[in-house]
């Protein structure tokens, strides 16, 4: 078994639910985790990292805007050279917004595309640069229902998520033969988050029946895909509650 403590894992979009759960899971398995969010959320990142360290694991938080090409390049260089070789990268920002098509401004569309697609490209490109040297690593992208089905009022979000899914497929075909596992996760359904609890109480009530996605279980799926044998790699996995319609 590999000694994961010799490597780092970067989690872009380490928010309060799924991103935090993925960060904790990889920390518990031995990685030095580097959770990343924009600078304005750095206090929450520090709480996450401190909790991980208090539990006996290793973490270094970074306040970085994933849409900033120079900042992303600097982040990867810093982690690779001063923390540990990068072995896992998870791209997990949100960007879900609802706007009827006539109310979708160019600014809104571009901003969502930057967060969910362009930032994914920057992240994937930098990850590939470092992983190719070792011929090993995992690059994971978090998708959504909108990755495969464009819903009414979600033109910006679905366009960006479709692009991210296509990016993951292209990278998988290019990098897989070089030992790098690229996978895309379609998270199809409501997740147990403060946002769902506050804004969709009827949906949140389904938690009692395991009817909404649990971040900890999502994180388990990411880990299981990461440790797959290369003779049986998954390129895309969809996760949803058993009662979710699809």
Are 112 and 156 a contacting pair, CB within 8 Å? yes
Dihedral angle, C-alpha 200, 111, 117, 154, nearest 10 °:
40
pLDDT at 53: 97
Residue scoring higher pLDDT (241 or 193): 241
pLDDT at 95: 74
pLDDT at 39: 80
Q: How far apart are the first and last CA of the chain?
A: 38
- pLDDT surpasses 80 at 231: yes
Which two tokens mark 1?
């078994």
pTM: 0.94
Are 78 and 86 a contacting pair, CB within 8 Å? no
pLDDT band (50, 70, 90) for residue 237: very high
* Model confidence pLDDT, tens digit, residues 35-63: 999 888 789 999 999 999 999 999 999 99
Cα–Cα dist 58/8, whole Å: 9
pLDDT band (50, 70, 90) for residue 179: very high
| Residue-range domains of the chain with CATH | 4-229 (3.40.50.720)
DSSP the chain: ---GGGSEEEEES--TTHHHHHHHHHHHTT-EEEEEE-GGGHHHHHHHHHHHHHTT-EE--EE--TT-HHHHHHHHHHHHHHT--EEEEEE-------B-GGG--HHHHHHHHIIIIIHHHHHHHHHHHHHHHHT-EEEEEEEEGGGT---TTBHHHHHHHHHHHHHHHHHHHHHGGGTEEEEEEEE-S-BS-HHHHHH-HHHHGGGGGT-SB-HHHHHHHHHHHHT--GGG--SEEEE--TT---
**What is the mean pLDDT of the segment spanning 163-168?**
97
- pLDDT surpasses 90 at 122: yes
Cα–Cα dist 130/86, whole Å: 7
Cα–Cα dist 91/38, whole Å: 13
Please state, for a pLDDT cut of 70, what percent of the chain lies above it: 100
- pLDDT surpasses 90 at 8: yes
Cα–Cα dist 42/2, whole Å: 31
């Amino acid at each position: 078994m590999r000694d994961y403590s010799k490597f780092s894992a970067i989690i872009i979009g380490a928010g309060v639910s799924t991103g935090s759960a993925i960060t904790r899971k990889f920390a518990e398995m031995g990685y030095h985790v580097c959770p990343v969010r924009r600078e304005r959320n750095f206090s929450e990142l520090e709480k996450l990292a401190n909790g991980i360290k208090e539990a006996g694991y290793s973490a270094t938080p970074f306040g970085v805007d994933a849409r900033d090409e120079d900042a992303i390049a600097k982040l990867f260089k810093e982690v690779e050279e001063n923390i540990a070789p990068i072995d896992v990268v998870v791209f997990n920002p949100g960007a879900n917004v609802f706007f009827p098509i006539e109310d979708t401004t160019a600014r809104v569309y571009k901003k969502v595309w930057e967060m969910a697609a362009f930032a994914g490209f920057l992240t994937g490109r930098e990850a590939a640069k470092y992983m190719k040297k070792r011929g090993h690593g995992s690059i994971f992208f978090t998708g959504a229902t909108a990755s495969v089905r464009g819903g009414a009022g979600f033109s910006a979000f679905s366009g960006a998520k479709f692009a991210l899914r296509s990016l993951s497929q292209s990278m998988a075909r290019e990098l897989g033969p070089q030992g790098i596992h690229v996978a895309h996760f379609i998270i199809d359904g409501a997740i147990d988050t403060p946002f769902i609890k506050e804004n969709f109480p009827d949906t949140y009530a389904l938690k009692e029946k395991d009817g909404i996605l649990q971040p900890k279980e999502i994180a388990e799926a990411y880990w299981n895909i990461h440790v797959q044998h290369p003779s049986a790699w998954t390129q895309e996995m969809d996760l949803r509650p058993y009662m979710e319609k699809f």
